[in-house]
């Protein structure tokens, strides 16, 4: 999968390629990451990329032409069809379902705004989809782009080892929060590992984990239960 990031700070996102899950996916040839700086496509001595908003008000708005030229260069760099995503708080909220959908695409171009935003005409003409990573305002789209890349990368076939399969995470296949996890030592001043996990009884362990996941979801994020895929047994547990 190919990611192109259009940003005034492409180094920011490029850092991702050197670390962790995204780095590993890169090493395994599962994804490539390319940065494009609109300033490199801006005209004049000052290479201006932003200007004051018509109608007045504070802040600056990113101009159409440098962004459009950067987008055109990114598109032309590879023949695969690209979906253009603009990261902004006005977008649809990102969730694991959306991440799964994005992971099926061959190519994403992530457009990061700065300042007060991007000229609306550019968004109308070039952007396929606007995405937000949550109801708060960041000072630019770069962190949001990094979130999208990380979340998508870990779903690409071969990124995670079998042991870390993405299906078992919070918001995995079943849409529930994750159960708690423990490792050595069994006895610690902060507490003891739950007995069931030491029992070696795989069916009991699986049942306990399911119960914990259901309980946590019910307590912390009851909204998720409406969409979760629950068995009759799960429902009985919840209604008990």
Give the annotated binding-site residues.
113, 133-138
Nearest CA to 86 out of 133, 16, 150 is that of 133
Burial 105-127 (b: 16+ CB within 10 A, else e): eebbbbbbbbbebbbeebbeebb
54 contributes a contact to ligand ADE by CB under 6 A? no
Binding of residue 10 to ligand ADE (CB under 6 A): no
Question: Does position 138 bind ligand ADE by CB under 6 A?
Answer: yes
Residues in the chain: 240
Identified binder of ligand ADE from the candidate list 141, 155, 213, 214, rule CB under 6 A:
141
Known active-site residue 116? yes
Edge-to-edge strand list for the sheet holding 32-36:
32-36, 2-6, 107-112, 83-93, 129-132
- The least distance separating ligand ADE from the CB of residue 70, rounded to whole angstroms, comes to 18
**Whether residue 169 lies in the annotated active site:** yes
Quick one: tokens of 232? 């009759």
* Least distance (Å) between residue 117 CB and ligand ADE: 9
Give the Å distances, CA to CA, from 51 to 42, 58, 123, 125, 240. 12, 11, 16, 19, 60
The CA angle 68-74-75, to the nearest 5 degrees, is 90
Q: Which of 37, 132, 159, 217 binds ligand ADE (CB under 6 A)?
A: 132
- HSE-CB at 108 with a 13 A cutoff on CA atoms is 27
Nearer to ligand ADE, 66 or 141 (CB): 141
Residue list, annotated binding site for S-adenosyl-L-methionine: 113, 133-138
CA dihedral 141, 144, 149, 155 (to 10 degrees): -150
Q: Which is nearer to ligand ADE, 130 or 169 (CB)?
A: 130
Contact stretch for ligand ADE (CB under 6 A) within 33-41, 103-111, 137-145, 197-205: 137-145
For position 35 contacting ligand ADE by CB under 6 A, the verdict is no
Contact with ligand ADE (CB under 6 A) among 3, 89, 109, 210: 89
Interacting residues of 123 by C-beta distance below 8 A, sequence separation 6+: 86, 130
Q: Does 7 bind ligand ADE (CB under 6 A)?
A: no
* Shortest distance in whole angstroms from residue 141 CB to ligand ADE: 5
Q: Is 223 a catalytic residue?
A: no
Paired sense of beta strands 117-118 and 61-62, if any? parallel
Residue in 76, 137, 219, 240 binding ligand ADE, rule: CB under 6 A: 137
Looking at 116, 150, 173, 178, which residue is catalytic?
Answer: 116
Sites of contact with ligand ADE (CB under 6 A): 87-89, 132-134, 136-138, 141, 144
> Residues with catalytic annotation?
89, 116, 154, 169
């Amino acid at each position: 999968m190919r990611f192109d990031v259009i940003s005034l700070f492409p180094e920011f996102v490029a850092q991702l390629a050197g670390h962790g899950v995204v780095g590993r996916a890169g090493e395994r040839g599962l994804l490539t990451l390319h940065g494009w700086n609109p300033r490199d496509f801006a005209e004049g001595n000052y290479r201006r990329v932003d200007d004051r908003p018509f109608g007045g008000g504070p802040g600056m708005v990113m101009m159409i032409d440098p962004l459009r030229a950067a987008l055109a260069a990114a598109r032309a760099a590879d023949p695969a069809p690209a979906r253009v995503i603009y990261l902004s708080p006005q977008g649809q909220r990102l969730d694991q379902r959306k991440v799964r959908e994005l992971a099926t695409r061959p190519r994403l171009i992530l457009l990061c705004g700065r300042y007060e935003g991007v000229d609306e005409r550019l968004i109308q003409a070039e952007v396929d989809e606007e995405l937000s990573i949550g109801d708060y305002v960041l000072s630019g789209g770069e962190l949001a782009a990094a979130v999208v890349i990380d979340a998508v990368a870990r779903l690409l076939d071969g990124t995670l080892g079998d042991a870390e399969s993405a299906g078992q995470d919070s918001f995995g296949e079943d849409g529930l929060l994750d159960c708690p996890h423990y490792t050595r030592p069994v006895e610690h001043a902060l507490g003891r590992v739950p007995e069931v996990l030491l029992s070696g009884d795989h069916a009991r362990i699986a049942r306990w984990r399911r119960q914990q996941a259901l309980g946590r979801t019910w307590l912390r994020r009851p909204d998720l239960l409406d969409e979760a895929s629950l068995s009759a047994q799960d429902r009985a547990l919840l209604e008990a």
